[in-house]
Every structure is written in structure tokens, then in C-alpha cells.
Amino acid sequence: MPAPSDRRYSDSHEWHKPEGDLVVIGITRFAVDQLTDVTFVDMKPMGTSVSKGDPVGEVESVKTTSDIYSSVDGEIAEVNAELADKPGLINEDCYGKGWLVKIKPSDPGQIDQLMDADAYTASGGS
């Protein structure tokens, strides 16, 4: 499945999708393939303020533990609670039900600096 064109992509393989006045963050298919089966997700709580480049939490898989980074400044507005019991949703549907956090950005224009789907695919991502 190609990277969806309705969102932007970071070098560290997170996707950022505008949704109303929020930005939804998740990880890409490429990242999921590298991580393999996700076993545990630990995102920082709602209300945490983050700066561009800060980790918003960790994703653990059978193989490894990875930090997940925000590419926007803002505050965590929502955390995907469903992942607590079903971390495998990330493997099943990383671009949909497997989203991680929603950020209320202080500058919504920031995500325009990220790669679009074509650029991300061209860089080897998926």
C-alpha cells in the first residue's frame, strides 16, 4: 500500500495528518515493517506540551523499543486509548486505527516543512 497522500512524513518515519485544528501522528508502514509486531505503546499523557523533535512516547515491538517524535510544537490533545489493549492495531492499520496521538499545534503551518507522500516514497519509505 502506498503512503497516503493526505498527510506529511518525517525522516524518522512518523506521519502527520491535519484533522480539523489538530495534527494526528502515527508511524508509517516502513516503520512498522522495521519494528515488526508491536507489543506495547506508551504515549505521554494528554496535556503534555511538546516541541518539534521531542519524543511523544515509545513503541515497543518484539524486536526493539523506539521513540516516536513530533515534528510540530504544541500540546498532546488526545492519546489513542485503544492501543493499550490492542497494540497490534498498529501492525494491522498503521495509517488508520493505529494512530498514536493528536497534537494541538501552536503553528499548524509547521507540517508543510515535512515530506509529502511522493517525496517520502522516493526516499525509500512506504
Partner 1 sequence: MLKTPLNKLHHEHGGNMVEFAGWEMPIAYGSIQDEHVQVRTKGGLFDVSHMGRLKITGRHARRLIARACTRRIGDMQQGQCRYGLVCNEQGGVKDDILVYRMDDTEFLLVVNASNREKIVEHLNNIIQAEEMVAKLEDQTMKTAMVAIQGPKVMDLVSRVSSEVPTLKRYRFTVKNLLIAKLIVSRTGYTGEDGVEVILPAGIVETALKLLLKDADLKAKDSDMKLVGLGARDTLRLEAGMPLYGHELGEDINALACGVDFAIALDKDQGDLPEPFIGQEALKKTRDQGGPPQTLAAFVAEGKRTPRQGMPVMIEGKQVGVITSGCMSPTLGVPIAMGFIDRQHNTPGTRVTIDAGRAELPAEVRANPLYTKPKTK
Q: Which residues bind partner 1 (CB under 8 A)?
A: 33, 36-37, 39-40, 42, 58, 60, 62-65, 91
Closest separation in Å from C-beta 116 to partner 1: 26
CB 25 within 8 A of CB 70: yes
Helix %, strand %, coil % of the chain (to 5): 20, 35, 40
75 forms beta bridges with 49, 104
* CB of 6 or CB of 33, closer to partner 1: 33
Closest separation in Å from C-beta 44 to partner 1: 10
* CB of 86 or CB of 104, closer to partner 1: 86
* CB of 39 or CB of 121, closer to partner 1: 39
Closest separation in Å from C-beta 91 to partner 1: 7
* CB of 5 or CB of 49, closer to partner 1: 49
As a whole number of angstroms, the distance between CA 20 and CA 90 comes to 23
Closest separation in Å from C-beta 123 to partner 1: 18
Residue 46: name the closest of 85, 104, 87 by CA. 104
- Count Cβ atoms within 10 A of the Cβ of residue 1 and give its class: 0-12 exposed, 13-18 middle, 19 or more buried: exposed
